[in-house]
Every structure is written in C-alpha cells, then in structure tokens.
C-alpha cells in the first residue's frame, strides 16, 4: 500500500517503464542507483541489464521485501534510508565509478533532492527521474518564463536538463492528481565562474523569495543598486529576467566585497 507521508505513487504501466529503460540505456557495468524502488516495477528490468544494482528505500515494509529479494539475488544492494541523507560520494567510491541515478521520485522530496544532488561532490554521470511535470517545467524553464525560478537557475548553473516525455496519472497506483514527466539531468561544471557556490545559492534564493520584488530590493542584503548596475544589470529588473550567468556575476561581485545596503 502506498503511504501518503512518503508521497508514494507506484509506477505500473509497462509502456512507460520500457520508455524509461530505452532513454536510460544502462550498460552491464554501470554503477546504477535506483532511488525509491517502491514495488520494483523498474527494479526487475534494471536487474536484467546490469551486473549490480543499488536501491535506496525509506519505507520499512518495502525494504523488508527488497531484503528478501536480495537474499536470493546478490546483484541487488539494498540501502535503507532517506535519499536526502545518503552519502553519494561514498557510494560512488564504493562502486568505483561515477553513479547513474534513476527513479520515480516521491513528490514530497523531489525539489530538495535535486538541490542536494546538484550541490553534491559525488561524481554523477546522469540522472533519469520521474517527477511532477511542473517540477520538470521549472527545471527546464528559460529566463522570462512564468516557470523560471530558483530551481531553473540552480540546474542551469550545474547541469544540462532535458524533458523526455510526459506521463499521465493512470500510469501509477494510486493515480496522482497531477501530470508527471521524465527528465534527464547531466551534471557538468559551470560554464561561467562561480567564486562561492554557497553565496551564489543564497543570493538566488533571496532573489526569488518574493518574485514581485525588483533586484534592487530582493538582493539588497548582498549588493546595492549601484553595485548591481556596475555588473551591467538594471537593478529595476525582476529576478526572472536574469540568466544563471548574470546571477553568478552578481554573486561574484558580492563575494568580492560589492557594496550592500
């Protein structure tokens, strides 16, 4: 039974599973990690394709089933715990290579987990996740669009994100009240200088905390209007007009001691 507190919606539609597998195209020696295996709809076909599969599950009832399965299949490595608290760098070191992550993510952890993974020092080749469509829309949004925000900037600074296909509620048990989508995220080094990544994230968070504010007011604790203008950016713009590179320029100016207040 799906547990509401874990935001569980179990995937069951074979056509969707086949499309995910096709997009993922796992190789036998991949260090594949499935987050939230649930009832194993993806787990079983993944085990048919890789020499070893690590799965991360928090639901104790589901973990018990997974352990029972792992007792007869040594290719399955069961990790009981919260995906937000897993040491992915240690997991990659244990597997001896960069990770490939896949999963039908519980809706209640999707955004926090994406932020954590993008900030993680762990080597990650790519991520293929099922998410709420609105989250995927925010991840892939362009500056100036209604969906563009903190998640858009954070992803654009650290990865390439590609929406692959949409999935209707009927593919899940129980069916969610929203559309879902599968996204491919490929981490990469920033394509512009970010002198202090934590400061960059704090500034972006502040900028989008109240979307109707202009930059002058939204990031006044970081830079003055004059300092913003010195970066070649109009301080009367709203944050959704700026690219990730422009946010990096502002953060770098703040890091260098740009005037605030």
pTM of the model: 0.92
pLDDT at 261: 46
pLDDT for the residue 116: 93
- Residues sharing a CB contact under 8 Å with residue 166, sequence separation 6 or more, in sequence order: 133, 179, 180, 181
Contact (CB, 8 A) for 99 and 124: yes
Number of residues that make up the chain: 261
Residue 184 has a pLDDT of 98
The residues, ordered by sequence, that sit 6+ positions from 15 with a Cβ below 8 Å of its Cβ are: none
Give Rg (Cα) of the chain: 20
List C-alpha distances in Å: 257 to 30, 193, 245, 249, 254.
44, 16, 19, 13, 5
Query: How many Cβ atoms are within 10 Å of 116's Cβ, its own excluded?
Result: 15
In 10 A of CB 79, how many CB atoms?
17
Token reading at 138: 């925010």
Rounded CA separation 229/226 (Å): 5
DSSP for residue 142 = P
What does the pLDDT read at residue 91? 97
- DSSP H or E run through 256: none
DSSP state of 171: G
Residue 75 phi, psi (nearest 5):
-75, -15
In order of their start, the domains of the chain are 4-187 (3.40.50.150), 197-255 (1.10.8.100)
Residue 258 is predicted with a pLDDT of 63
The pLDDT averaged over each successive group of 10 residues in the chain (261 residues) is: 54 96 97 94 95 95 93 95 96 97 89 93 97 96 96 97 97 92 97 96 95 94 97 97 98 84 46
User: What per-residue confidence (pLDDT) applies to 117?
Assistant: 95
Q: What is the pLDDT of residue 16?
A: 96
Q: 3-state DSSP: the chain helix, strand, coil percent, rounded to 5?
A: 40, 20, 40
State how beta strands 53-57 and 76-80 pair.
parallel
Going by C-alpha positions, the residue among 224, 231, 241 that lies closest to residue 193 is 231
pLDDT of amino acid 9:
79
Cβ contact 99:31 at 8 Å: yes
Q: How far apart are CA 253 and CA 237, in angstroms?
A: 18
Task: Give pLDDT, residue 20.
Answer: 97
């Amino acid at each position: 039974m799906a547990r509401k507190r874990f935001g569980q919606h179990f995937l069951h539609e074979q056509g969707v599973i086949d499309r995910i597998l096709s997009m993922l195209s796992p190789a036998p020696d991949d260090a594949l990690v499935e987050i939230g295996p649930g009832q194993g709809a993806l787990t079983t076909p993944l085990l048919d394709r890789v020499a070893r599969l690590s799965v991360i599950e928090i639901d104790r009832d589901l973990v018990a089933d997974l352990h029972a399965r792992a007792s007869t299949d040594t290719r399955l490595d069961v990790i009981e715990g919260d995906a937000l608290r897993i040491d992915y760098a240690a997991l990659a070191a244990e597997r001896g290579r960069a990770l490939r992550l896949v999963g039908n993510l519980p809706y209640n952890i999707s955004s926090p987990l994406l932020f954590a993974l993008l900030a993680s020092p762990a080597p990650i080749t790519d991520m293929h996740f099922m998410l709420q469509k609105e989250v995927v829309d925010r991840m892939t949004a362009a500056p100036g669009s209604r969906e563009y925000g903190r998640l858009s900037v954070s992803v654009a600074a650290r990865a390439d994100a590609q929406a692959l296909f949409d999935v209707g509620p009927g593919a899940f048990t129980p069916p969610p009240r929203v559309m879902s989508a599968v996204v491919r995220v490929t981490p990469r080094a920033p394509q512009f200088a970010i002198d202090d990544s934590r400061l960059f994230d704090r500034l972006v968070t502040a900028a989008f905390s109240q979307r109707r504010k202009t930059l002058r007011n939204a990031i006044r604790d970081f830079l003055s209007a004059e300092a913003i203008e010195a970066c070649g950016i109009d301080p009367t713009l709203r944050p959704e007009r700026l690219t990730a590179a422009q946010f990096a320029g502002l953060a770098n100016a703040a890091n260098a001691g740009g005037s605030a207040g």
